[in-house]
Amino acid sequence: MKKAIYPGSFDPFTNGHLDILNRACAVFDEVIVLVAVNASKKTLFSLLERVEILKAALAGKENVRIDSYEGLTVDYARQVGARHIIRGLRAVTDFEYEFQLASANRFANHDIDMVFFMASSDHSFVSSSVVKDLRANGVDVSPLVPPAVLNAFTKKGL
Ligand code: ADP
């Protein structure tokens, strides 16, 4: 059984994330969407909210699990017996950060490899920050996020 981890902040989950996840699901038997617990990173949605959004958005996807973890993704991967970590690449600006992250992960655990999917052209500009910015300025973001995210914004009065 080939398992992979798709880690991220998911603040909130977007259709760009969903696209990467769907494509990873075509390659791996199980993909664990791992919400990063990073106390130093200020998020709009709490950890619990981000997990609840993911549960609603991904309900019915049989080979997807959702979890959260504080610590190195490679340590989580080792604990659950996964050898691959999924990430997405949009513009070249993502490359530098992702390359550094991949090198650090490989330094921490040589047995685990990163697998990258390139953003689809219709999602290449979509990020959680762009979605939050547009929504805060009254733009309809429904084409960019799953309905569960729209509900979560509404619930927050945003
Ligand atoms: P992090 O804070 O760990 O970068 P994000 O939730 O911002 O978490 O992103 C998780 C992963 O998904 C990253 O590898 C990011 O590059 C990728 N990603 C985010 N948005 C898109 C998108 N629109 N298309 C492809 N990959 C994306």
Q: What domains does the chain contain, in order, with CATH numbers?
A: 3-155 (3.40.50.620)
The CB of 94 under 6 Å from ligand 1? The reply is yes
Predicted TM-score (pTM) above 0.95? yes
pLDDT along the chain (158 residues), means of 10: 97 98 98 92 95 97 97 96 97 91 95 96 95 98 98 96
Helix axes 92-108, 73-80, angle to 10 degrees: 60
The atom number, within ligand 1, closest to the CA of 125 reads 23
Beta bridge mates, 64: 31
The CB of 15 under 6 Å from ligand 1? The reply is no
**Cα 117 to the chain's mean position, in Å?**
12
Supply the residues annotated as catalytic.
17, 41, 90, 128
pLDDT digits (tens, 9 = 90+) for 83-98: 999 999 998 889 999 9
